[in-house]
C-alpha cells in the first residue's frame, strides 16, 4: 500500500584538481510503502519504480518477503472467487 513520498537531501564532498574541497548536494525522492504480506513499512527510490506502481491500486511486497509466493496465493484466491480449476483454458484477462 502506498503511504507517502519524502525527499532526502545528502551532502557530498569532492576535491578539485587544485586540491580544494567542494560541497555539493543531491536530492532523492523516496516512496514509503507498506508490505501487503507482513505490513511493515519500507522505502524505494521513486526513480527506480514505475510511476504507475506508486499508488494503492497495486500490491507491494518488501524485500524481506517472497513476492512469488505472494503472487501464487493471490492467483489461488482469484480462482476460488471465479470458481475455476487450475487447468482451465479460460483467459482470465477477458473476464
In angstroms, the CA 87 to CA 94 distance is 17
- Is 79 a domain residue? no
pLDDT in tens, 8-35: 999 999 999 898 999 999 999 999 999 9
- Is 34 a domain residue? yes
- Is 10 a domain residue? yes
| pTM listed for this prediction | 0.65
Give the CA diameter of the chain. Answer: 73
In angstroms, the CA 47 to CA 90 distance is 37
- Is 90 a domain residue? no
- pLDDT of 56 strictly over 90: no
- Is 47 a domain residue? yes
- Is 69 a domain residue? no
Domains held by the chain: number: 1
In angstroms, the CA 56 to CA 48 distance is 17
- Is 77 a domain residue? no
Which of 36, 48, 43 shows the shortest CA–CA distance to 7? 43
Q: Where are the alpha helices (DSSP H) in the chain?
A: 67-82
Which structural domain, as residue segments, surrounds residue 9? 2-64
Return the C-alpha cell found at 67.
513476492
Amino acid at each position: 500500500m502506498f503511504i507517502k513520498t519524502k525527499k532526502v537531501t545528502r551532502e557530498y564532498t569532492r576535491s578539485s584538481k587544485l586540491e580544494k574541497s567542494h560541497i555539493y548536494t543531491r536530492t532523492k525522492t523516496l516512496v514509503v510503502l507498506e508490505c501487503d504480506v507482513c505490513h511493515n513499512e519500507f522505502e524505494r527510490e521513486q526513480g527506480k519504480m514505475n510511476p504507475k506502481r506508486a499508488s494503492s491500486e497495486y500490491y507491494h511486497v518488501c524485500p524481506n518477503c517472497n513476492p512469488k509466493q505472494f503472487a501464487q496465493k493471490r492467483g489461488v484466491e482469484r480462482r476460488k472467487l471465479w470458481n475455476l480449476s487450475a487447468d482451465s483454458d479460460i483467459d482470465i484477462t477477458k473476464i
